[in-house]
Amino acid sequence: MGRHPARRSDDAHAPEARPASAIGAMARGASAFGSSVFGATAMGALAVGRAAIGRLAIRRATVTRLEIDELIVGRLQIDAGGAATREQVAAWLDAYERAWRTPGTDVLADLFTDDATYSPGPFRETLSGRPAIAAFWEDGRDGADERFAMRSELLAVEGDVGVVRVEVDYERPEPSSFRDLWVVAFAPDGRCRAFEEWPFAPGDRLSPGAPPAPSDA
């Protein structure tokens, strides 16, 4: 996400404390996308998780690692054929935004495989491995308490790859906005194995020699 996160709320709100893994432990003892959790069906857990996200956003409460884990357990294991569903991609996007609002980077174990790659932009060096991704995250945000609003639109899902359009507006000392396209490839356990983003900020040139893109200001 660099200076522009990934994930799905319409109202800016202060970050919430998060992950260090119950789901991580769960994902390693069983699939993070297990077909049932705590006796509820995975789809039922997904519905409960989304309702919990709404409640958390409204009350802006501090969220523990266990709570974020409970929001993620609704993910379903990707089919043996390697196909992801729109619901699975949407759940991952929700978890990504939550992680951006969470102090530390332990939660990334629930989002990215150990050997995941992360391309922060065209012609930029691709990061390899979750430790490199974690360092990039910490360097790219002002802190887990920075205020921002994020909106995302899932454009397509083909096989194990999802394509997402993302808009992020930061409050920061000076308001700033980013527009982004993400290409996310998933592993069979539902975590990301390859992440590619195409970020745009006001003033960026769309192509060599072209005038800068108009500012939102």
- Concatenate the DSSP letters of all residues of 161-189 into one string: EEEEEEEEEE-SSS-EEEEEEEEEEE-TT
Could you give the CA distance from residue 110 to residue 137 in angstroms, rounded to a whole number?
15
Higher pLDDT, 68 or 89: 89
How many structural domains compose the chain? 1
Note whether residue 205 is domain-resident.
Answer: no
Note whether residue 1 is domain-resident.
Answer: no
Note whether residue 206 is domain-resident.
Answer: no
Per-residue pLDDT tens over the stretch 32-53: 333 332 233 333 433 434 443 3
Percent of the chain with pLDDT over 70: 51
Note whether residue 6 is domain-resident.
Answer: no
Note whether residue 165 is domain-resident.
Answer: yes
Note whether residue 94 is domain-resident.
Answer: yes
Q: Write the Ramachandran bin of 108: left for phi over 0, alpha for psi from -120 to 50, otherwise beta.
A: alpha
pTM: 0.59
The whole-number pLDDT of residue 88 equals: 93
Percent of the chain with pLDDT over 90: 33
- Give the mean model confidence (pLDDT) for residues 11-32: 34
- Give the mean model confidence (pLDDT) for residues 135-146: 75
Considering only 2-16, 71-85, 103-117, 150-164, which range has the smallest mean pLDDT? 2-16
Could you give the CA distance from residue 53 to residue 143 in angstroms, rounded to a whole number?
21
In which domain, by residue range, is 171 found?
22-200
The whole-number pLDDT of residue 94 equals: 92
Note whether residue 196 is domain-resident.
Answer: yes
| Per-residue pLDDT at 157 exceeds 50 | yes
* Average pLDDT in the chain: 67
Q: CATH number, domain at 129?
A: 3.10.450.50
Alpha helices (runs of H) in the chain, residue ranges in sequence order:
22-29, 42-59, 65-72, 86-100, 130-140
Cβ atoms of residues 187 and 163 within 8 Å: no
Note whether residue 150 is domain-resident.
Answer: yes
Considering only 163-172, 173-182, 189-198, which range has the smallest mean pLDDT? 173-182
> Which stretch, 23-27, 122-126, 147-151, 207-211, has highest mean pLDDT?
122-126
| Per-residue pLDDT at 100 exceeds 80 | yes
| Per-residue pLDDT at 165 exceeds 80 | yes
